[in-house]
Amino acid sequence: MRPQDESLVASQYATEDALEARRSVYGDVEGPDAKEVAFAAIAEAAPKRVLEVGGGPGELSERIARELGAEVVMVDSSSRMVELARARGVDARVGDVQALPLGDGEFDCAVAAWMLYHVPDLDRGLSELRRVLQPEGRLVAVTNGREHMQELRRLAGDWAWERRFRREEAVALLEPHFARVERRDVDAWVSVDPDGVQRWVESLGGGPRPKLVDEPVRAHIACAILVAEA
């Protein structure tokens, strides 16, 4: 999926279908789980009020509220994702990270998991996240590296490699906005069956493809959790 194409991003998240197709391949991971590493980074801050941006169907927001006892607000640009999150009991609102409808210093922790590479004006989005954080507040951001799922991206074609805010450059992009940034890499592997490969590639856009593979594909998960302190 081309992250700079706003209309394609909007269509991708108008329903949960494409997102669930991509999530479905992570069933049996060999190695650490990036979601658990991210949750641990949030829990370290012992937050009382958390903002999650681009939270999708709201699983993480719901977990933060349930396990950490924090008050959580979720903002997502997709009305469908907000609807799904609200069904989980999350205080979810339609909004844009580039112009958050929230006051200065309202939160002691903000979370942006696998979404900043979709933001057209990344500096503006990061400035907004910094603005709504309290002094010494924490941003936990999650993103992918150049090698993430490269075995499947090769099947999708060259355009599927287009990315911003990859783990290799994420620290440099965050540092102008935050006093301290730490990168925590997560590398693992997953075996994806032929049907999963087909769903994953087709979920990126472009419609149905001829059958891509006959055997499972072992793919590299390359993520990073960025912990940025205001």
Rounded CA separation 77/97 (Å): 8
Rounded CA separation 153/149 (Å): 6
- φ, ψ dihedrals at 83, nearest 5°: -60, -45
> What percent of the chain shows pLDDT beyond 70?
92
**Rounded mean pLDDT, 108-135:** 97
pLDDT surpassing 90 at residue 27: no
3-class secondary structure, 100: coil
Rounded CA separation 182/165 (Å): 15
The answer to whether 194 and 119 have CB atoms below 8 angstroms apart is no
Residue 159: pLDDT band by 50, 70, 90 thresholds? low
At 193-221, the pLDDT tens digits run 999 999 999 988 778 889 999 999 999 99
Which region among 35-39, 182-186, 203-207 has the lowest average model confidence (pLDDT)?
203-207
Q: What is the mean pLDDT of the chain?
A: 92
C-alpha angle 140/144/147, rounded to 5°? Answer: 155
CA distances from 59 to 7, 85, 153 (A): 25, 7, 26
Q: Choose which CATH entry (3.40.50.150, 3.40.50.10490, 3.40.50.620, 3.60.21.10) describes domain 6-146+160-188+223-229.
A: 3.40.50.150
pLDDT surpassing 60 at residue 156: yes
Domain spans in the chain, listed from the N-terminal domain onward: 6-146+160-188+223-229
Type of residue at 64:
I
User: Which sign does the torsion angle of CA 224, 12, 25, 66 carry?
Assistant: positive
pLDDT surpassing 50 at residue 71: yes
**pLDDT at position 16, please?**
76
**Rounded mean pLDDT, 29-49:** 97
pLDDT surpassing 70 at residue 83: yes
Spatial CA neighbour of 96 closest among 113, 78, 109, 114: 78
- φ, ψ dihedrals at 145, nearest 5°: -100, 175
